[in-house]
Amino acid sequence: MEIRSQKPFCISEFLLMTFLSAFFSQTAFPSFAAVKLDPLPLPPLTSPYKFTDSLKRAEELFSANNYREALIFYYESIVIAPNQTLRGKIHFRLAECLEAVKRYEFAEYHYKLAVKNDLPQELSERALYKLKHLPELAQHEEATRLFKKAMHSYKMRDIRNCIDDYLESIRLEPSLMQKDESGLIDDAINYLTYLSESKDKEPERLLKLSSLLELKGETEKSMETLKQILIIYPKSKVARDAEDKLTFFTEKRNTYMEIKRPREALPEVVPQASPVVLEFQHTFNNAETLSKDLEETAYTFRAMNEQTNVPNGRFEVFSAILGKGANQKEFVFASSEGIPEKIYRFDDGTYLYMLTFEEVNIVTAYIQDIFGEPPRPVQFFTQIGVKLKVLHK
């Protein structure tokens, strides 16, 4: 076996290395870290596709219902579109793709941009139609999502987390209740009835319980729950909501179910003319007649008495005649029965009449019969405040 010995380190090599190290560390040879290089100019950004090729590919994908991939090429095309008319059409296509994948808010945005650009009349009318109905589709989608989420939580027996989603979905779209045969409302009522919450969360628990009782049709129990909020927690955040609902219950004696209406997207693009044709407001304190006959609309209000010995400041009958010619609607109210509704509507096909009773006061007076009979109690109107608004449909 051959044995090799290690070469001894020579002192001359050590001196040579030391010299070279000192030599290259001088300022004549600076380190690479100290060298400042000017940045190279970047080439201009260019599209990987020509406009015609990109748009052609987008249309092919759109025709094949491949909306997600078509979006990529439409976005590529709109950046390099040569004029405003083409940009408007591409915005319209982008909106159609986004609507197809149920991204309604983004679709609404591109429909608006399409209308604002130089769009052909047919496409512009279609975009306006879409803008009118997209908020309803978006609300329906959100209601359906929350409803499915609530049903999933309920199947997992997570009742606490399903209540908010369920109530919000019904508020957005009440018809979803017809699809619910799960027993969620009963279980949620039982859960909230026996749930113990902290003092700051207790009013919200009671308000949710009231809403569920209302959905079940137990109006009296719902009202009692609302009263608990006003009595025990009058300064809570939900006390105002409870008071409004309780007032409505007291006046209407039926369920409240405040439905959330979709917002209107069209006025953001097209200025809307005011639909209000006529507004009238008056307070009747005595028997009198007020009438107005315009070219398009008409109204007549009468506060009158059927008896001759009614004291001043009292009247027995109040009537409102709305509309013109044969197309009229008359509302008649007797003081003995009162005015059960706060708002009355009449639609004559062209105009919508909205009559609101802002104040109704009734007192009991005693009428002396001329034949010597003892005084008898009779109810009279003393004050009726009305507000009439006529809207063009």
Q: State residue 206's pLDDT score.
A: 93
Whether the CA torsion 19, 24, 26, 31 is positive or negative: it is negative
Whether the CA torsion 215, 217, 221, 224 is positive or negative: it is positive
Q: How many CA within 13 A on the CB side of residue 391?
A: 10
Q: State residue 378's pLDDT score.
A: 79
How far is residue 234's CA from residue 186's CA, in Å, rounded to a whole number?
28
In a domain, 18, yes or no: no
In a domain, 156, yes or no: yes
Report how many domains make up the chain: 3
In a domain, 229, yes or no: yes
Q: Which of 252, 283, 307 is the last residue of a domain?
A: 252
Work out the widest C-alpha separation in the chain, in whole angstroms.
154
**CA-based nearest residue to 178, from 141, 233, 215, 226:** 215
**pLDDT tens digit string along 247-286?**
877 765 555 556 777 877 877 787 766 688 889 999 999 9
Regarding whether 285 and 230 lie in a shared domain, the answer is no
In a domain, 3, yes or no: no
Regarding whether 364 and 285 lie in a shared domain, the answer is yes
Enumerate residue ranges in the chain where pLDDT < 70. Answer: 1-38, 45-48, 251-258, 272-274, 365-374
Q: State residue 37's pLDDT score.
A: 61
Task: Give the phi and the psi of residue 46 in degrees, each rounded to 5.
Answer: -130, 150
In a domain, 14, yes or no: no
In a domain, 132, yes or no: no
How far is residue 231's CA from residue 209's CA, in Å, rounded to a whole number?
16
> At residue 47, what is the residue type?
S
- CATH of residue 114: 1.25.40.10
Q: What is the dihedral of CA 129, 132, 135, 137, to 10 degrees?
A: -40
Cβ–Cβ under 8 Å, residues 172 and 146: yes
**CA-based nearest residue to 259, from 345, 154, 139:** 139
Looking only at the bridges linking them, the beta strands covering 327-334 and 376-392 are: unpaired
Q: Which of 204, 221, 252 is the last residue of a domain?
A: 252
Regarding whether 221 and 173 lie in a shared domain, the answer is yes
Q: State residue 17's pLDDT score.
A: 62
Looking only at the bridges linking them, the beta strands covering 288-293 and 343-347 are: unpaired
Whether the CA torsion 271, 275, 277, 278 is positive or negative: it is negative
Burial bucket for residue 75 (CB in 10 Å: 0-12, 13-18, 19+):
middle
Range of the domain at 377: 274-392
**pLDDT tens digit string along 313-334?**
889 999 999 998 778 899 999 9
- CATH of residue 211: 1.25.40
Regarding whether 286 and 224 lie in a shared domain, the answer is no
In a domain, 323, yes or no: yes
Q: Where are the beta strands (DSSP E) in 67-190?
A: none
Within 8 A by CB and 6+ apart from 356, the residues are 342, 343, 386, 387, 388, 389
Regarding whether 313 and 229 lie in a shared domain, the answer is no
Regarding whether 164 and 95 lie in a shared domain, the answer is no
